Structure 1
């Protein structure tokens, strides 16, 4: 889904910033689908960047790797950016700062695709969605006790935000044309654009 959303706007010879590049799975998908795209991959974990290089194999030559955070990324401008399964580790203030830094690095009209845990945060809503997440994990083959432990960790350790707060932060960071493209239990994904 992310690759398709990027491909709507990123030119044939585009340059894409991937914040939270560790592991390299999305980079591999992007690089295989678009042979002329170049990438900047940023992640704070050196071992995860090593894993990403291994995952990409020969495709890794098309990626400039940066160990660190968004401030350590080149200034761009980039034709698109992604931040998958990363923003839910940041509290609202840090999330806004990261989004604003991503926005500053994008060319006019360029897309940003984000996806992370984002679900209602009132007591009843939070409990309901975390229980659903645990039930789905157990139904997918995860041992019930492990699913419960994961839900406990998500609910108590992550600085979770409600979807409407995530959208407000994207707007405050300067993005426009914000569209929800993915919703599955506790996960949400949006595509948003730098002003043209």
Structure 2
């Protein structure tokens, strides 16, 4: 996570991410649709991993009445978010830190994009529990991140495809072997079944896969109604 304080990575975050994640902008639009099914036009949305501000910008443009609490451990990425949002930051309260830096509960919904894949399984579970605790009954959670098969050969095949997509989108990429090794070393990757099981274990119900783009998966889940 220290990489997100490096000036070059921060400066190129938006363009690089759009080239790495298939359907990146559509992912935000789909998430907004899923959230809007269950929240009002005055909703308060918790955004975990808000650095960069890209999902908040998409949500804010689609729903002018929504307001946001954005959490990220990197001050540099939060500053990028402020720049990305232009005139919109008046609708956003930024918090530097992790989920436990948010004491407020009763959020109408929450999102967490391209963040949970950095967390080991137990920490990921605890983060999902903390999100559950901060949501109103019936509130949706939308998450998306790397999620790969368990077998090493299957992981490599999908990582190769993901790298080929990024390269075809114009992003310079190292050799597939070097990249795959780096990704496996950096990220405590889980399978789609493990990710869905963690959402259930943290207390969420009606867990549905709504997005798949090579190595990336996205789910919507809900806190049970009281």
TM-score bin, normalised by smaller chain: over 0.9
Q: Secondary structure at the match of 1:18?
A: strand
Provide the residue aligned with 1:166 in structure 2: 195
Shift of the alpha carbon at 1:137? Answer: 2.2
Unaligned runs of 5+ in 2: 1-29
Residue 206 (structure 2) pairs with residue 177 (structure 1): yes
1:66/1:80 Cα in 2 relative to 1: closer, same or farther (>3 Å)?
same
**Do the aligned partners of 1:75 and 1:104 also contact (CA within 8 Å) in 2?**
no
**What pairs with 1:10-89 in structure 2 (closer than 5 Å)?**
10-89=39-118
Counterparts of 1:69 and 1:22, CA distance in 2: 12
Shift of the alpha carbon at 1:123? Answer: 1.6
Q: TM-score, normalised by structure 2?
A: 0.83
Aligned residues between the structures: 196
101-110 or 71-80: which moved more?
A: 71-80
Shift of the alpha carbon at 1:120? Answer: 0.2
Shift of the alpha carbon at 1:146? Answer: 6.2
159-168 or 131-140: which moved more?
A: 131-140
Counterparts of 2:67 and 2:176, CA distance in 1: 38
CA RMSD of aligned residues (A): 1.4
Q: After TM superposition, what 4+ stretches of structure 1 lie above 4 angstroms from structure 2? A: 146-149
Query: Which of 69, 89, 93 lines up with 2:122 in the alignment?
Result: 93
Provide the residue aligned with 2:26 in structure 1: none
Shift of the alpha carbon at 1:126? Answer: 1.1
Counterparts of 1:30 and 1:139, CA distance in 2: 28
Q: TM-score, normalised by structure 1?
A: 0.95
Shift of the alpha carbon at 1:142? Answer: 2.8
Counterparts of 1:130 and 1:38, CA distance in 2: 36
1:100-131: CA deviations, max 9, x gaps?
00000000110000000001021221121112
Shift of the alpha carbon at 1:147? Answer: 6.1
**Do the aligned partners of 1:137 and 1:147 also contact (CA within 8 Å) in 2?**
no
Counterparts of 1:56 and 1:145, CA distance in 2: 32
1:32/1:148 Cα in 2 relative to 1: closer, same or farther (>3 Å)?
farther
